[in-house]
């Protein structure tokens, strides 16, 4: 058993990537039940919703699981009079799903403290964080409660900063990965390091376990990650196509049909750089040149994206996927897990 397995109380060094808006209890529990670390993304969840989600996870599995949050970076905007102007730039998308432009909310996101209070009560095996180094107080409280803290790095410097901040493990996430680029020391555009370059350098630079993420979808990617110094792997896109995922059929079609050179990095949907399919919404929002800062853009597009998701309108959704999307072939979480496990060194 690797140090990572002992650290997290799991049987196999395979971690499910947390999905902001796409996590499901069924998929998280399936990965945990298989002996890995199921993860659930809590982006935008208030305390009450976190409590409900954690209770559902406890009902679904007795195995360890992780909860994931986004750390504030300090540049998040609050609702302001500019909200209405940004909403008007998206009015055609609202109309397409049969809704009016949404009025300005009281807040775009719950506070970090509200989320943490609920997470402490939930007591997951691990708390994973993105977009920064957790405070000393956060790490200390997590450890006091027996919760491991996992940080996320896109550069060697970020990994070093995370280790200095006291995290128990680090996810080294390459530019190939789906979803948001979670850089925090430099702009995301200046932190686009591929996993094959990033991983061995991070492994050399820190002493805590390193989890490789980005471009891993089958046993070959797993074997390569371990050869480059990983203690475990984190996989997202390959699990998104399974029946246990919260992704809809349009999203699954996009994953299976988007070539490695066809995914794009865009700020169109959230205001922060993310990797996904270049659907019509992405193309038209980018062409307009009117993208609100984060989290306003994410909230504004989220209103029509939610309805589009319910109706399977893939051209209006956030179709997050990584560069290894064509390798995502499994239809059940157990099949994907078995394929990944075949690449773990004996």
What are 49-72's pLDDT values in tens digits? 999 999 999 999 999 999 999 999
pLDDT digits (tens, 9 = 90+) for 79-96: 999 999 999 999 999 999
Which residues make Cβ contacts (< 8 Å) with residue 55, sequence separation at least 6?
none
pLDDT on residue 177: 98
Structural domains of the chain ordered from first start: 3-341 (3.20.20.70)
pLDDT at position 1 over 80: no
Q: Give the rounded percent of residues in the chain with a pLDDT score beyond 70.
A: 99
Q: What is the pLDDT of residue 17?
A: 98
Share of the chain above pLDDT 90, in %: 98
Query: Using CA atoms, how far apart are residues 232 and 226, in angstroms rounded to an integer?
Result: 7
pLDDT tier for residue 21 given thresholds of 50, 70 and 90 = confident
Q: Given its phi and psi angles, is residue 21 left (phi above 0), alpha (psi -120 to 50 degrees) or beta?
A: left
What confidence category does residue 20 fall into, taking pLDDT thresholds of 50, 70 and 90?
confident
Kind and range of the H or E element at 151?
strand 148-153
pTM (two decimals): 0.97
- pLDDT at residue 288 tops 80: yes
Cα of 154 vs its chain's centroid, Å: 13
What is the pLDDT, as a whole number, of residue 234?
98
- Can you tell me the distance from the alpha carbon of 305 to that of 287, in angstroms, rounded to the nearest whole number? 18
pLDDT tops 90 at residue 262 = yes
> In this model, does residue 273 exceed pLDDT 80?
yes
Mean pLDDT for 218-232 is: 98
In this prediction, residue 2 carries a pLDDT of 65
User: What average pLDDT does range 248-254 have in this prediction?
Assistant: 96
User: Looking at the predicted structure, is the pLDDT value of residue 37 above 60?
Assistant: yes
Distance of alpha carbon 199 from alpha carbon 193, whole angstroms: 9
Lowest-confidence segment of 19-23, 105-109, 320-324 by average pLDDT: 19-23
The mean pLDDT of the chain is: 97
pLDDT (tens digit per residue) in 108-125: 999 999 999 999 999 999
């Amino acid at each position: 058993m690797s140090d990572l397995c002992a650290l997290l109380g799991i049987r196999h060094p395979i971690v499910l990537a947390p999905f902001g808006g796409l996590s499901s209890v069924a998929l998280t529990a399936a990965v945990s039940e298989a002996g890995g670390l199921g993860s659930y993304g809590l982006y935008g969840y208030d305390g009450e919703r976190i409590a409900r989600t954690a209770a559902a996870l406890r009902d679904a599995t007795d195995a360890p699981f992780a909860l994931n949050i986004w750390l504030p970076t300090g540049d998040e905007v609050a609702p302001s009079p500019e909200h209405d102007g940004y909403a008007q730039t998206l009015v055609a998308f609202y109309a397409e799903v049969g809704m009016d432009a949404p009025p300005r909310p009281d807040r775009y996101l719950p506070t970090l403290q509200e989320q943490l209070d609920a997470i402490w009560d939930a007591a997951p095996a691990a708390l994973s964080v993105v977009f920064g180094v957790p405070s000393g107080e956060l790490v200390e409280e997590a450890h006091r409660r027996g919760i491991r803290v996992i940080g996320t790095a896109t550069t060697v410097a970020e990994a070093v900063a995370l280790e200095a901040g006291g995290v128990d493990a680090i996810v080294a996430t390459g530019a190939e990965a789906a979803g948001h680029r979670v850089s925090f020391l430099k702009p995301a555009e200046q932190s686009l390091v591929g996993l094959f370059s990033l991983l061995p350098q991070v492994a050399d630079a820190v002493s805590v376990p390193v989890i490789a993420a980005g471009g891993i979808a089958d046993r070959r990617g797993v074997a390569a990650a371990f050869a480059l110094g990983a203690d475990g792997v984190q996989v997202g896109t390959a699990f998104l196509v399974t029946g246990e995922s919260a992704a809809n059929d349009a999203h699954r079609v996009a994953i299976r049909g988007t070539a490695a050179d066809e995914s794009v990095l865009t700020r169109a949907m959230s205001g922060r750089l993310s990797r996904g399919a270049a659907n019509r919404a992405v193309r038209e929002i980018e062409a307009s040149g009117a993208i609100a800062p984060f989290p306003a853009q994410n909230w504004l597009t989220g209103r029509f994206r939610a309805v589009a998701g319910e109706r399977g309108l893939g051209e209006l959704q956030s179709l997050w996927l990584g560069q290894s999307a064509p390798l995502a072939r499994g239809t059940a979480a157990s099949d994907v897990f078995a394929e990944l496990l075949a690449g773990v060194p004996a």
